[in-house]
A = this chain, B = another copy of it.
């Protein structure tokens, strides 16, 4: 249920917008001044602010500017009789996300409001964020999420996952992983890689879903992204895990890292 704050002093306009919002399935809170807006925003969380410009206590755009000066905030759509291009430019540059001149088409208003709320809910793209299928890796913070759920991984587990994810779709041999993650250029004659992979797998495990870390027997391991749209019902399909055609030659040395 989307929560929308309307800052509008004209009762007729407010009633129209209330009807539109109701029809769109939103909860609309209406105030008639920027002071009222300030109070409402301090009390509640909203998904969208719809702000008129000519209000009894000033220009709604001034309030929007002060919101923006305080940092990232809820999206703002300005509705105003001040509808020339220069007014729109002023409003958009002042921090509004959209600007509609009155009179407006109700359907267009709703579509624009939806687009704003949709965009505001999207995670920001960042060079620090690696997203592969349903797994998100924040490189600097060393955190991992799967399907939006936080996954607590240790330092070594993170490095292992990061390396596998950087080469998603490719098989990494045990000796590659020993080199990359452990800085070992020789075979320690233990199953340290296997043990860490097992631990990481357990942490990434979600009941009913394929695990993104797959074994290529005799070669090594690969990260195979699981699509976010993959439903839990498909868990029975073991096909992808039985792939026998590696995209990268691991060579027989993958077996060399094992305890004989």
A140/B131 in contact, CB under 8 A: no
- Is A207 interfacial (CB-CB < 8 Å)? no
Please, how many angstroms separate the alpha-carbon atoms of A120 and B131 in the complex? Answer: 16
CA distance A120 to B119 in the complex (A): 7
Closest partner residue, chain B, to A131 (CB atom):
B71
Judge if A74 is at the interface, Cβ distance under 8 Å: yes
B120 engages A107 (CB within 8 Å)? no
- A242 interface hit (Cβ, 8 Å): no
| B125 contacts A107, C-beta separation under 8 Å | no
Q: Is A107 in contact with B85, judged by CB distance below 8 angstroms?
A: yes
Q: Is the CB of A88 within 8 A of B108?
A: yes
Contact partners of A96 in chain B: CB under 8 A: 115
Residues of B within 8 A of A97 (CB): 115, 119
Neighbour of A228 across the interface among B71, B89, B115, CB < 8 A: B71
In the complex, A237 has a CB within 8 A of chain B: no
CB neighbors of B among A114-143 (8 A):
114-115, 119-125, 131, 138, 140-141, 143
- Contact in complex: A125, B72 (CB < 8 Å): yes
Q: Does A105 contact B (CB under 8 A)?
A: yes
Q: Is A125 touching B114 in the complex (CB atoms < 8 A)?
A: no
Alpha-carbon separation in the docked complex, A81 to B229 (Å): 33
Residues of B close to A1: CB separation below 8 A: none
Pairwise interchain contact B114-A93, C-beta atoms closer than 8 A:
yes
Inter-chain CA distance A2–B245, complex, in Å, is 40
Binary flags per residue of A136-156, CB closer than 8 Å to B gives 1, else 0: 001011010100001000000
Asked if A85 contacts B72 (CB within 8 A), the reply is no
Query: Pick the contact of A111 from B88, B122, B125 — CB < 8 Å?
Result: B88
Q: Write the chain B residue with the least CB distance to A84.
A: B105
Partner of A92, one of B88, B114, B125: B114
Q: Given the known A-B contacts A86-B107, A107-B85, A124-B124, are A119 and B71 also in contact in the complex, defined by CB atoms under 8 Å? A: no
Q: Are A72 and B122 in contact (CB under 8 A)?
A: yes
Q: Is A75 an interface residue (CB 8 A)?
A: yes
Least Cβ–Cβ distance between A163 and chain B, in angstroms: 20
The answer to whether B115 and A89 touch across the interface, beta carbons within 8 angstroms, is: no
- Nearest to A45 among chain B residues (CB) is B125
- Cβ-based interface call for A170 (8 A): no
**7 closest residue pairs by CB, A with B:** A85-B105, A92-B111, A89-B111, A140-B150, A72-B122, A141-B143, A92-B115
